[in-house]
Chains A and B, each alone.
Chain A
Amino acid sequence: MARDPDDIDAVPLRHPWRWVIAVLLLLAFAGVAVSLWQNDNVNHPTINEFIFDRRILDGVVLTLVLTVVSMVVSTVLAVLLAVMRLSNNPVMNALSWLYVWAFRGTPLLIQIVFWGYLGLLYAQITLGIPFTDFSLFSVDTNTLIPAFVAGLLALTLNQAAYSAEIVRAGMLSVDEGQYEAAYSVGMSPTFTLFKVVLPQAMRVIIPPMGNETISMLKNTSLLSVIAVLEVYTVATQISSQNLRQVELLVVVSCWYLFLTSVLSIPQYYLERHYGRGNARTLPPTPLGRVWAVLRPTPRPTTPRADAP
């Protein structure tokens, strides 16, 4: 580029302290990493032995199943609770509030143990009409609700309380004019909810729900108290036999880190999907970026459709 004599030719500003701090931090990090790696109390072959152990892998699968099922079911419940909370019916309103109050106000650990011990509260579970002798069926509680189901119930019902507030916030973020526009073209309230309000609310709902999903993945480890065979329970069972507690904790930590990384991928694509129409042009996907480097063709720029 041609230099103009009027352009300033200056010495750029130097940042020596940035370099000093960066070097110090890297040294400290390397020190910690090396001391962990060379610690004689950690037996590396044990980690290698168990990281792909059959039992651990089964535990990983169960952890993932618990996370996905409880998140999906709790989200459906959450939408229901949020709609109840925003409805004009005072009974629905109060019940929704009560639900959130109860399930958010008690520790998850206690809820898990409670569902695990449900048999102590109700020996039999009966489906019938309340306050009458009529019953459709009756089963033993411990048969109907084994540990896995109890764990799933605890996680789902607790999560629904948190997600309900997230969904409600999302619905409140949608402009009042959207309801009016939907009603003015003859849409019913239900149609408006599913086609107009929720798709827009999703943009606000998804980032915190991604957070909740990652929380949920880690909270599944609490199910060890009712002996659900998810990955942490399996690891503690193994370490109670071989007394390699630290190694097995490293094994499960690696798996949790891997799973949380994997779970943030769908969040990225969901955000893109529900962000459509909001950003004027969406940034390319990671795959799209790789593609652009491999085949550098000039991107056609979409002109702003302003000109009449």
Chain B
Amino acid sequence: MTDTRVTTAVPTASVSAPLLSARKVRKSFGGVEVLKGISLEVAAGQVMCLLGPSGSGKSTFLRCINHLERIDGGRISVDGELIGYAARHGRIFEMNRREVAKQRGGIGMVFQRFNLFPHMTALENITAAPIGVRGLAKPAALARGRELLDRVGLADLAQSYPAQLSGGQQQRVAIARALAMDPKLLLFDEPTSALDPELVGDVLDVMRALAADGMTMVVVTHEIGFARGAADEVVFMDGGVVVESGPPASVLDHPQNPRTKAFLDSVM
């Protein structure tokens, strides 16, 4: 049933092409299909918010975008490049680990549980990949790291270890860490769900500033207020399919589908 081969037609990057394009993405875990053909597009500079009840497949879809999960069917491409596959001599090959790692470097991800490296300071967390993966010179990486910390409002905590930071501060370091690789696309997996309510605002402020600067973002969130204010498009998922999508004003205020309506009633 699941056809993992892809056809040789590779979409080519052009000015009009969307930065992220997903077509009929399918993914199963142990015989249970959690993504049943997700198709969506995000243009460069746009912010898309994914809403939906838990178990609807939002996080799984997000993890497929940077190949933390391998998709079983369909295709995902970012900036014209297929995720997990490379075209050579007119054929499509599955990428090896090195190629996958390189591709992931261009897609930043922010996790619900922050996942900072606990044995590194805030600054080391940010500079580890630029120095170790991109081969950036240390002074340049440190300068850029400090600049990023300043951008997320934590300039004076460069030498702190994650355990010495509050949840909100840790998440902002995690955002700076993702930005350090100059990603084309930033993925957020429920970035404020693990935070104390009074710390959510700082993280959302940083995300709003990124959106205003033109960063392309896909955000899985339960923060309806953020989706309303910052998103260009809101997608409501349930049961592994896209139920409804559109501008926030229409999806959030005038939902057409009863499932969307029920979900929004329960969270607002």
What residues on B are CB-neighbors of A276 within 8 Å? 119, 161
- Please report the C-alpha to C-alpha distance between residue A243 and residue B153 in the assembled complex, in whole angstroms: 77
B142 → A minimal CB distance (Å): 16
Question: Does B43 lie at the interface of the complex (its beta carbon under 8 Å from any beta carbon of A)?
Answer: no
Question: Does B50 lie at the interface of the complex (its beta carbon under 8 Å from any beta carbon of A)?
Answer: no
Cβ of A180 and Cβ of B68 under 8 Å apart? yes
Q: A183-B101, A185-B129, A191-B133 are in contact. Are A199 and B160 (CB under 8 A)?
A: no
Residue of A185, A274, A279 contacting most chain B CB atoms (<10 Å): A185
Number of cross-chain contacts by CB at 8 Å: 99
Cβ of A183 and Cβ of B68 under 8 Å apart? yes
Q: Who on chain B is nearest to A199 by CB?
A: B119
B202-219: which residues lie under 8 A (CB-CB) from chain A?
202
What residues on A are CB-neighbors of B97 within 8 Å? 188-189
A198 → B minimal CB distance (Å): 10
Question: Does B128 lie at the interface of the complex (its beta carbon under 8 Å from any beta carbon of A)?
Answer: yes
Question: Does A280 lie at the interface of the complex (its beta carbon under 8 Å from any beta carbon of B)?
Answer: yes
Cβ of B129 and Cβ of A186 under 8 Å apart? yes
The answer, among B104, B116, B119, B120, for a CB contact under 8 Å with A184, is B104
What residues on B are CB-neighbors of A180 within 8 Å? 68, 109, 111, 115
Q: Which of A11-19, A136-144, A300-308 contacts B (4 or more CB under 8 A)?
A: A300-308
Q: Which of B21-29, B77-85, B164-172, B255-263 contacts A (4 or more CB under 8 A)?
A: B164-172
What residues on B are CB-neighbors of A185 within 8 Å? 104-105, 108, 128-129, 133, 177-178, 180-181
What residues on B are CB-neighbors of A199 within 8 Å? 119
Cβ of B119 and Cβ of A186 under 8 Å apart? no
- Please report the C-alpha to C-alpha distance between residue A238 and residue B57 in the assembled complex, in whole angstroms: 75
B222 → A minimal CB distance (Å): 20
A87 → B minimal CB distance (Å): 12
What residues on A are CB-neighbors of B134 within 8 Å? 186
Cβ of A184 and Cβ of B132 under 8 Å apart? no
- Please report the C-alpha to C-alpha distance between residue A181 and residue B126 in the assembled complex, in whole angstroms: 12
Question: Does B162 lie at the interface of the complex (its beta carbon under 8 Å from any beta carbon of A)?
Answer: yes
Residue of B66, B104, B121, B177 contacting most chain A CB atoms (<10 Å): B104
- Please report the C-alpha to C-alpha distance between residue A184 and residue B66 in the assembled complex, in whole angstroms: 7
Q: Who on chain A is nearest to B100 by CB?
A: A183
The answer, among B117, B165, B178, for a CB contact under 8 Å with A196, is B117
B75-117: which residues lie under 8 A (CB-CB) from chain A?
97-98, 101-109, 111, 113, 115-117
Question: Does A187 lie at the interface of the complex (its beta carbon under 8 Å from any beta carbon of B)?
Answer: yes
Cβ of B157 and Cβ of A305 under 8 Å apart? yes
- Bitwise, A145-183 to B at CB < 8 A (1) or not (0) is 000000000000000000000000000000101101111
Cβ of B111 and Cβ of A280 under 8 Å apart? no
What residues on A are CB-neighbors of B181 within 8 Å? 185-186
What residues on A are CB-neighbors of B246 within 8 Å? none
Cβ of B118 and Cβ of A184 under 8 Å apart? no
Question: Does A195 lie at the interface of the complex (its beta carbon under 8 Å from any beta carbon of B)?
Answer: yes
- Please report the C-alpha to C-alpha distance between residue A150 and residue B134 in the assembled complex, in whole angstroms: 45
- Bitwise, A177-215 to B at CB < 8 A (1) or not (0) is 110111111111101000110011000000000000000
Cβ of A280 and Cβ of B104 under 8 Å apart? no
- Please report the C-alpha to C-alpha distance between residue A308 and residue B164 in the assembled complex, in whole angstroms: 13
B154 → A minimal CB distance (Å): 9
Q: Who on chain A is nearest to B165 by CB?
A: A305
Question: Does B140 lie at the interface of the complex (its beta carbon under 8 Å from any beta carbon of A)?
Answer: no
A182 → B minimal CB distance (Å): 8
Using CB atoms and an 8 Å cutoff, list the residues of chain A in contact with chain B: 175, 177-178, 180-189, 191, 195-196, 199-200, 274, 276-280, 302, 304-306, 308
27 example contacts (A-B, Cβ-Cβ < 8 A) are as follows: A175-B115, A177-B115, A180-B115, A181-B111, A181-B117, A181-B174, A182-B117, A183-B66, A183-B101, A184-B68, A184-B104, A184-B108, A184-B109, A184-B111, A185-B104, A186-B101, A186-B104, A187-B129, A188-B97, A188-B133, A191-B132, A276-B161, A277-B161, A277-B162, A280-B164, A304-B164, A305-B157
